[in-house]
Chain A
Amino acid sequence: MIGESMYQELILEHYKHPQGRGLREPYDAEVHHVNPTCGDEITLRVKLGDGGKVEDVSYEGQGCSISQAAASVLHELATGSSVEETLSVVDEFTRLMQGRGQVEADEDVLGDAVAFAGVAKFPARVKCALLSWMAYKDAVVRSAS
């Protein structure tokens, strides 16, 4: 059924056991994003290292399984990668989410985040999936400036 395609095992796993949750020091930038329609919110910090490496993405928030799992997956994908790589993953993820379920996901770029493909069919939930990823993009821009 439709529900099962959205609540992938991987999403439920991340929701029940979030990776890298909690706000940590040190950090270069902190942002706070909210989804006014459902009250989901996230506070997210990024710490960048030498050579454009992402040393840490730490976060704290509240919301539905989709928004919480998306933050956990983001943490895993981003930590240890380069800023440039992660931003292209963010772009691909955004394209997938905004594709109304018509977009073919590029698994090579997205890795685990491909599990969210089913969410794209539910317009009301797309913002939940994107909340932490947009916060991340914002935080990276701020830490660079």
Chain B
Amino acid sequence: MTSTSLDVERIRKDFPVLSRELPGGRRLVYLDSGNSSQKPAPVVETVREHLSMHYSNVGRAMHVLGAESTEAYESARDKVAAFIGAPSRDEVIFTKNASEALNLVAYSFGQHLWGPGGTGDAGADPRFALGPGDEVVISEMEHHSNIVPWQLLVQRTGATLKWFGVTDDGRLDLSDLPQLITERTKIVSIAHQSNVLGTVNPVADVLRRAREVGALVMLDASQSVPHHPVNVAELGVDFVACTGHKMLGPSGIGVLWGRAELLEAMPPFMGGGEMIEAVWMDHSTYAPIPHKFEAGTPPIVEAIGLGAAVDYLQGVGMAAVETHERELTAYALEALREVPTLRLIGPDSLERRGATLSFTLEGIHPHDVGQILDDQFGIAVRVGHHCARPLHLRFGIPATTRASFYLYNTTGEIDALVRGLHHVQKVFA
């Protein structure tokens, strides 16, 4: 199934929205997949089919529909596990999105559970104990979802937050790695691929240092899992977060992968139905993973839709997706160089970077760029700080315009972007 070339015209036919006409007769040019991707017909159809013919709650319903729903939900877990190379399906926890996956891990640290705590007595596991003197390391290029949960954690516990800087060319600054990650570091959490710069971070270098000092490593893979072949076991990290809506799936479903042994040692994040083994009035014991972390009725059809998205991506082949995006990125880097005063924020070569290009145009605010691209050309880009305000502060700019590509984008759409940018410059000349 996996080939390295991809028939983009055939793929586009699977995405009904891409042939849609916008008001005024404009054709849609969707360059905002880094924000959220479009959905192919098989995903829409799977969700529709499940909702219309098989829907019921999962786990607890003892009837045909309950069995079908549970089977579909749990097989989505199998698909995701295989897709990301998880050694065990039980290591795949469904969350609402990447943000919840990151929060789940952040809330596992520094808890003091008193009394009979069943399997979840985190206070007892030193890896999750956190207090004054302990450190958490993130980076300046993180999405707010990989910053704020850790800020809250250190505020709760008195631990210290530290971060990697970012170099002028948009790389993680590893020059102070040994001072940054030390014996005091409990966990390092960084993006696998930056949602602004497109930079793919050197996980192995960070991991090596973290292992030397016994720190855990989490990857925010929201921007990598949709676009590259990712194998969590090969990466060798401890936790990985990603989010369904950026990888052709529905919104409302995300994934936390964690090493089984760690997930078993972690206290539950939320309490409720389905996450328990037995409940007494004064205490409870918890279900084995993954259910320990899935309190309440989960996003059932969303998970099933994600399963269909993963099937679709595997049908195309992630190596082919990666190659296609690389070609688009090469083309776009070249094409954007022709636009006067355009300043790329992020690596200007293909080396260790993905298909996300953020830039500024001198004297023109990104909101104006985005508005004119949309109004006049039907080109959807993202403008603003893309939930990475500290990174924009680092580069001394309030906002950027961001074009991000996916398997259904074409070089023709990049040409349209460049024409649009020239027009924007004419309006504000």
Contacts and interface: CB of A to CB of B under 8 A. Distances in A.
A7 B427 contact: yes
B384 A122 contact: no
Contact of B427 (A12, A38, A128): A12
Interface in A36-91: 37-40, 62-66
Interface stretch (B195-203, B244-252, B326-334, B370-378): B370-378
B27 to A, nearest CB: 14
Given A1-B24, A2-B24, A39-B399, A65 B368 contact: yes
A100 interface: no
A32 to B, nearest CB: 15
| Number of chain B interface residues as a range | 20 to 34
A125 B367 contact: yes
B375 A6 contact: yes
B407 to A, nearest CB: 29
Contacts of A125: 367, 371
A38 B367 contact: yes
B385 A6 contact: no
B362 to A, nearest CB: 14
B340 interface: no
A69 B365 CA distance: 12
Contacts of A3: 371-372, 374-376
Contacts of A122: 371
Chain B binding surface SS class: helix
Contacts of A63: 365, 367, 398
Contacts of A93: none
Chain A binding surface SS class: helix
Nearest to B385: A39
A18 B366 CA distance: 19
A38 B384 contact: yes
A116 interface: no
Interface residues of A, number: 22
B371 A15 contact: no
Interface string B387-410: 001001000001100000000000
A95 interface: no
Given A1-B376, A2-B24, A16-B428, A38 B371 contact: no
Interface in B353-368: 364-368
Nearest to B366: A64
A7 B376 CA distance: 12
A7 B83 CA distance: 47
Contacts of B375: 1-4, 6
A64 B368 contact: yes
Nearest to B427: A7
A4 to B, nearest CB: 8
23 contacts: A1-B375, A2-B375, A3-B371, A3-B374, A3-B375, A3-B376, A4-B375, A6-B375, A7-B372, A12-B428, A16-B428, A37-B384, A38-B367, A38-B384, A39-B385, A39-B398, A39-B399, A62-B398, A64-B366, A64-B367, A65-B364, A66-B368, A122-B371
